[in-house]
Structure 1
Amino acid sequence: MTDAALLALYDSQLRAEAEVADADEVAKMGPVWAATFPGRGRGFVTYSHIPAGTDLDALIQAVIEHYQRDPRVDHFEWKTRGHDDLPALDETLRRHGFRFEEPETVMAGPVEAAITAATPPPAGHIVERAATADAIREAETLAGRVFGDTAEHSSRRADELVRRFEDDPGSFEMWLVRDDSGEVVCSGRVDFVAGTDFAGLWGGACDERHRGLGLYRAITAARATSASAKGYRYLQSDCTEFSRPILERAGLVPITTTTPAVRTLQGRQATCSVSWTV
């Protein structure tokens, strides 16, 4: 499949409603979807298409007022894409008080490529699927340490994933690598996006002492294998510049970019970071 065809499939299957399926609450506001995650104090705004001629000032202001009415939300992200034909969107978001974070690369590719690109983990390292809440918490503790999150943020994130694991265990899997002491040294999640051909790769983290050993590629292959067994044909991930080379070696290609635009609500202090990429 060509890169353009992958992008078209991404646009048709993974935007808007599919992105907010795990939200606690979702409001449809014109062309955008505004999701709320009370446990994280966070909102998330996305869309599949904003028609030409839309009054962006009015739309953005309506979204801001929507979240201002909810005291549980202290910040929200408006997800932008580099290939959208919306030249005035970034400027308008900035004018309404949004702060743009670092751009991320949207990667996609066939599951088979990630499976065949894998190499066995080195001696003393074991790849396994997290089968208990405690194992998920171990994985999130590692990720929090790697990403420099606060203990509160890591704990909130772990609580959220444990709730998903208990309430809807088929929606995702956490995969991890243990060293010979039993410590989790690499981890990553795969989300199974119902009704699409895609599984999403998120939250990849590897302990600095264990990098360069192929561990992240190994858990990418494990996640791809599991996704393939469930009938998913493609993988997708929003990644940082650090993870992009690893995902490219696993057969994923860049199809667009996304830059989180973050708005902190007046008088409220954001309690955790917004983005969670690989």
Structure 2
Amino acid sequence: MDRDEVLELFDRQMRRMTCTDGPGARVERVGGVVRRTAADGDWNGVVWSALEAATADAAIAEQVRHFGGLGLDFEWKLYAYDRPGDLGARLLAAGFTPEPEETVMVADVRDLPTDVELPNGVRLEAVTGPTGVDLMIEVHEQAFGASAGRLREQLLAQLAEAPDSIAMTLALAGDQPVCAARVEFNPGTDFAGLWGGGTLAPWRGRGIYRALVAHRALQAAARGHRFLQVDASDQSRPILQRLGFRALTTTTPYVYEHSSVPAPANAS
């Protein structure tokens, strides 16, 4: 896999030319920014930007006004190669809060192992309705230690209005959900995205995460996608590297929450 070639393809298909990808979502290019606007509870943010030092602050302020006018918190997905080089510092100065850096990792599905090998007593089950989504959220909250109420609403809406855009899977030990993962199919692109993969602590190190990667690789290949893409945490990156994923770049989510940004001193 040619890293530079795949990075250019990723940037073009998944960032610059990103399409509307969810119920009620709107993707638009405004100046040097591509943004996604959806309902409250769904993901809102800037997916791509091409800014210059002279225009960056005005572009940032415009996005704050846009989402603020709708009463929406939002995220600016900053990639390591985005310009200007001090864009992260400018976002900080504008009131954004950075979250932990993630590594954008990609693998050609033809190079990935596709043997779904599970521990004895563990099986995979497709999620097709609200009960399964609730179990996924239960696993997510336990595995990652964070509330996932908004994610629940997003997944329910996606299942109801765009079921072909996503496949969700639970790993179950008896009736107990021990891991949950999903793959999102991006129409018109070579990429399918892996999300979740959270495994409950007592079940880690048994190959369940690897099995779910293989399972989702098969699903992506069946849909005609060439690459799997993951925004990997430090915990999942070593596993993905062993499976054949390569790092393309890094990304840092910068989050703007209107309620947490102090009003200007001269505000009435």
- When the two structures are superposed, what TM-score results if normalisation uses the length of structure 1? 0.86
Q: Using a 3 Å threshold, how does the CA distance of structure 1 residues 156 and 216 change in structure 2: closer, same or farther?
A: same
In the TM superposition, residue 131 of structure 1 has moved relative to its aligned partner by 2.9
1:246 aligns with 2:251: no
Spell out structure 1 runs of 4+ moving beyond 4 A: 266-269
**3-state SS of paired residue (2:168):** strand
Q: In structure 1, give the amino acid aligned to 2:70.
A: D
Q: CA deviation at 1:195?
A: 0.3
CA-to-partner distance for each residue in 1:19-42, whole Å, 9 max, x for gaps? Answer: 752262344321212323333275
Establish whether residue 164 from structure 1 lines up as the match of residue 165 from structure 2. Answer: no
Q: Which residue of 1 aligns with 2:15?
A: 15
Are the equivalent residues in 2 in contact too, given 1:127–1:218 (CA < 8 A)?
no
| Structure 2, unpaired ranges of 5+ | 263-268
Aligned counterparts, 1:166-185, within 5 A: 166-179=160-173, 181-185=174-178
1:212-231 alignment to 2 at 5 Å? Answer: 212-231=205-224
Structure 1 gaps, min length 5: 270-278
Aligned match of 2:26: 25
For the Cα contact (< 8 Å) 2:126–2:167, is it kept in 1? yes
Determine if the alignment matches structure 1 residue 44 to structure 2 residue 42: no
2:104 is matched with which residue: 84, 103, 106? 106
**Residue in structure 2 matched with residue 129 of structure 1 by the alignment:** 126
Distance 1:240 1:267, change over 3 A: closer
Quick one: which amino acid aligns to residue 128 of structure 1? E
Does the 8 Å contact 1:97/1:263 carry over to 2?
A: yes
State the AA in 1 paired with 2:111: A
Say which SS state the counterpart of residue 44 (structure 2) adopts. Answer: strand
Change (3 A) 1:266 1:176: closer
Distance 1:5 1:236, change over 3 A: same
CA contact (8 A) 2:193 2:230 kept: yes
Q: Deviations 1:171-222 (Å, cap 9, x if unpaired)? A: 010012100x211101111000100111100122101010000001101100
1:176 to 1:254, Cα distance in 2 relative to 1, 3 A: same
CA deviation map 1:59-90 (0-9, x unaligned): 1111111122112x1x2111110123421311
Taking only aligned residues, the RMSD between alpha carbons, in angstroms, comes to 2.1
Q: Give the Å deviation of 1:267.
A: 6.4
Q: Contact 1:35–1:43 (CA<8 Å) still a contact in 2?
A: yes
How far does residue 261 in structure 1 lie from its aligned partner after superposition? 1.1
Identity fraction in percent:
33
Matched-pair contact (CA < 8 Å) for 1:175–1:222: no
Q: What is the aligned counterpart of 1:145 among 142, 145, 166?
A: 142
1: CA distance, partners of 2:145 / 2:53: 42
Cα gap change, 1:20 to 1:208, in 2 (>3 Å): farther
Please give the TM-score of this superposition, normalised by the length of structure 2: 0.89
CA distance in 2: counterparts of 1:232 and 1:9, whole angstroms: 13
Task: Provide the rounded CA distance (Å) in 2 between the counterparts of 1:267 and 1:139.
Answer: 29
**Which is further off, 187-196 or 92-101?**
92-101
Q: Kindly indicate whether the alpha-carbon contact (under 8 Å) linking 1:185 and 1:210 is maintained by their aligned counterparts in 2.
A: yes
Q: Structure 1: how far apart are the matches of 2:162 and 2:145?
A: 28
Matched residues, number = 261
- Which residue of 170, 185, 201 corresponds with 1:192? 185
